[in-house]
Structure formats: structure tokens, C-alpha cells
């Protein structure tokens, strides 16, 4: 989608520090990390909200969780990690392209 920063990262128009990519998703380092390890997992298809899930997107989100779980140790998250999915302005969603924050690499507070 035009003017979507994560779509531009998916196409390579904006550079990112990728740690994983396949045909359906991308995982890259957050540019303003809130923890020692702070990654963002995004679908390559643009949609903003879980409220927009179709059966195919639901399956994709499941695969995103599976990729995160299976790569967590390689990403320095063997002691645990936190997933955050902000939904909407009040929750602090600033990029309106679905993304799963993956946070860890340290003892996390609230």
C-alpha cells in the first residue's frame, strides 16, 4: 500500500535489518528498540488489524507465530520473550500494517 512504511520495507524501498524472510512474511529489527532484542514480524500482504482476518490471513498469523517460536533461540530469546500486537490508535499503533513485536533478551518489566 502506498505510503506504508512496512510495505516499503517488504519491497526493499526502505532498508531494514532482516533476520528472517519467506514468501509470506518478514522479520526485521525495530529501528527504535524497546528491549535488547526487539523484532517486528510482518505479513507481506498489507492489512492493518486482526479485525480484518480472513481464513487465509488467520492461517498466516499462525505461521508467523510458528516462525517466531522456532527461531526464538537463534534470535537470542532462549530465556523467554514477549509478543505485542498493538491494535488501533488508543493502543499506540503507529504503523497501520499488522505487526507482531517480539521483545526479549533481558528481564522485561511491564
Q: Using the rule CB under 6 A, which residue among 51, 92, 109, 110 binds ligand AMP?
A: 92
Give me the 4-43 binding string for ligand AMP, x by CB under 6 A, dash otherwise. Answer: -x--------x-x-------------xxx-------x---
Active site residues: 99
Residue 93 site contact among ligand AMP, Zn ion, none (CB < 5 to 8 Å, cut-off depends on kind): ligand AMP
Strand ranges of the sheet holding 100-104, from the earlier edge strand across to the other edge: 18-21, 25-29, 37-43, 100-104, 81-84
CB–CB of 7/47 below 8 Å?
Answer: no
The footprint of ligand AMP on residues 39-78 (CB under 6 A) is 40
State how far the alpha carbon of 39 is from the alpha carbons of 2, 30, 34, in Å.
23, 5, 10
Contact positions vs ligand AMP (CB under 6 A): 5, 14, 16, 30-32, 40, 86, 92-95
Amino acid at each position: 500500500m502506498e505510503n506504508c512504511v512496512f510495505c516499503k520495507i517488504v519491497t526493499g524501498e526502505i532498508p531494514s535489518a532482516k533476520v528472517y524472510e519467506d514468501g509470506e512474511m518478514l522479520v526485521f529489527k525495530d529501528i527504535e528498540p524497546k528491549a535488547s532484542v526487539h523484532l517486528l514480524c510482518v505479513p507481506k500482504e498489507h492489512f492493518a488489524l486482526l479485525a480484518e482476518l480472513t481464513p487465509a490471513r488467520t492461517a498466516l498469523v499462525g505461521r508467523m507465530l510458528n516462525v517466531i517460536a522456532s527461531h526464538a533461540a537463534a534470535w537470542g530469546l532462549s530465556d523467554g520473550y514477549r509478543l505485542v500486537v498493538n491494535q488501533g490508535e488508543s493502543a499506540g499503533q503507529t504503523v497501520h500494517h499488522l505487526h507482531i513485536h517480539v521483545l526479549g533478551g533481558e528481564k522485561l518489566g511491564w
